[in-house]
Amino acid sequence: MANTGDLSSSGKRKLFSLLCHGSIFLGSLLVTSAIPLVILLLFDDPVIKATAKETLNYHFNIWLYGAISAGLGTFFTLLFFTIPLAWVIGIAFFLFHLVPPIFGILAVLNNPNEPYRYPFIWRLL
């Protein structure tokens, strides 16, 4: 485990919290979830651990909501030929996928000593 004494500075908290929130933008499923998982396992700092847990919960929710939106989009497109409804579902998922991590990054930049909590997610960890 990393030494928590050297992590008490807001600069290091900010760095690792930004890595957790920014990992969603890296694209690969394995990389996006591996970064917060490694940070969660390596550090004892309570703010960094809370941020890593929250980010992992967000990743799990993105996977779930992505599967649901893909299923609904396919269902509505195939059954009702309502391509505009599939587009609305896809755009809503896309915005939910990108906007909350940006708010998380901005929250960390403003106050690195407070973990950001994502809205509209189920917390499994």
**For 11-58, how does the pLDDT look when each residue is reduced to its tens digit (9 = 90+)?**
889 999 999 999 999 876 778 899 999 999 999 999 999 999 999 999
Query: Total domain count for the chain?
Result: 1
| Residue 73 domain flag | yes
Structural domain contains residue 93: yes
pLDDT of 3 > 70? The answer is: no
| Residue 88, pLDDT score | 82
Confidence of residue 75 (pLDDT cuts 50, 70, 90): confident
- For 63, the domain range is 9-110
Domain presence at residue 2: no
62 in a domain, yes or no? yes
pLDDT of 59 > 70? The answer is: yes
The DSSP secondary structure of the chain, one letter per residue, reads ---SGGG-SHHHHHHHHHHHHHGGGG--HHHHHHHHHHHHHH---HHHHHHHHHHHHHHHHHHHHHHHHHHHHHHHHHHH--HHHHHHHHHHHHHHHHHHHHHHHHHHHH-TTS----TT-----
Specify the pTM: 0.83
Asked whether residue 123 is domain-assigned, the answer is no
67 lies in some domain: yes
Mean pLDDT of the chain: 86
